[in-house]
Amino acid sequence: MKDMNILEVAGGKPIKLWTQGVPVEEEARQQLLNTAKMPFIFKHLAVMPDVHLGKGSTIGSVIPTLGAIIPAAVGVDIGCGMIAARTS
């Protein structure tokens, strides 16, 4: 089973999605594409299963930057309860 998909973005960095079996709403997808095209994004974006449209940035996204800080990327739901657990 493939755990992660990569979405190549024309004019931007790739987006790695850990969203197998999880629908990504179109508004959140567009927000991610816009973010991936920012010139200071470092290597790639990462998207977790709790992805959804957010104010300032997409909830469930990890946005690495080089030479920039995006305070709005923290979002208003910091510590919302996502956790990682090893399964068989």
Q: Rounded to whole angstroms, how far apart are CA atoms 22 and 60?
A: 12
Return the CA Rg of the chain.
13
Q: Would 49 be classed as within a structural domain? A: yes
Residue 3 counted as an annotated binding residue: no
User: Looking at the whole model, is its pTM more than 0.85?
Assistant: no
Q: Would 87 be classed as within a structural domain? A: no
Q: Rounded to whole angstroms, how far apart are CA atoms 25 and 61?
A: 14
Task: Give burial (CB, 10 Å; 0-12/13-18/19+) of 32.
Answer: buried
Domain residue limits at 66 = 5-74
Q: What is the pLDDT of residues 36-84, one digit of tens each?
A: 999 999 999 999 998 999 888 899 999 999 999 988 787 666 666 666 6
Number of domains into which the chain is organized: 1
Q: Would 83 be classed as within a structural domain? A: no
